[in-house]
Amino acid sequence: MANASPPNASPPNGPGDDEVRSAGRFSTWLAEIQESLRGEHDSDVPCAGCTACCRSSQFVHIEPDERDTLAHIPAALLFPAPKLPMGHVLMGYDDKGHCPMLVDDKCTIYEHRPRTCRTYDCRIFPATGVELDEGEYVDIARRTRTWRFDFDDDTDRAEYDAVRAAAQFVRDRMDDHPDGPAPTNPIRHAVLAIEMHTRFLPSDSD
């Protein structure tokens, strides 16, 4: 499998990022993030106070049915989401690249935060091998290097290999695929790999 580190490999940490964090058992995490992406529940990420995703110049997509969220965000901070139906909006970031709802390093609308935030899980990057631009996503990139998954049996390793293979397919061949082109956003790239990884699982005859 191209560009995929062994499951028990330890990627190099960035400056000051020497704390290893448990990402949980791989197959358990994979099942949970799939459920989250389907809207069955929020992601349960052991953030431990980390707000890297809130400080990385990210546009937050908010859908029309998120009325409670929209009621807690000033309209001036929202603008129509390009190429999406009317009612879909994006919330931008301030001149520091921070979410405007982040004050004193805390989310001021946590109980009313957008669905995008509720389902976000930075462990998706070490799981898929999708790399982040250190300039644009420096805080998230540093955080993701500290995660370590547990691989208890062959199921964990097979699913890990399938997720990595799916991410490689999206990177190298998605432009020529009927479902293409390949997404340029690393988050969408990683999510797509999760969604299509079952195509790369070994068959019973293998």
> Do 86 and 188 belong together in one domain?
no
> Do 128 and 183 belong together in one domain?
yes
Residue 11 predicted with pLDDT over 50: no
pTM: 0.82
> Do 167 and 185 belong together in one domain?
yes
Q: What is the pLDDT of residues 133-156, one digit of tens each?
A: 877 788 899 999 999 999 999 999
In a domain, 68, yes or no: yes
User: Do residues 145 and 126 lie in contact, with contact meaning Cβ atoms separated by under 8 Å?
Assistant: yes
At a CB cut-off of 8 Å and minimum separation 6, what does 166 contact? 128, 192, 193, 194, 196, 197, 199, 200
How far is it, in rounded angstroms, from Cα 110 to Cα 87? 22
The confidence band for 204, taking pLDDT boundaries of 50, 70 and 90, is low
> Do 37 and 126 belong together in one domain?
yes
- Provide the domain limits for residue 155: 21-44+121-136+145-200
Q: What is the pLDDT of residues 163-175, one digit of tens each?
A: 999 999 998 876 6
How far is it, in rounded angstroms, from Cα 163 to Cα 29? 12
As for how many domains the chain has, the answer is 2
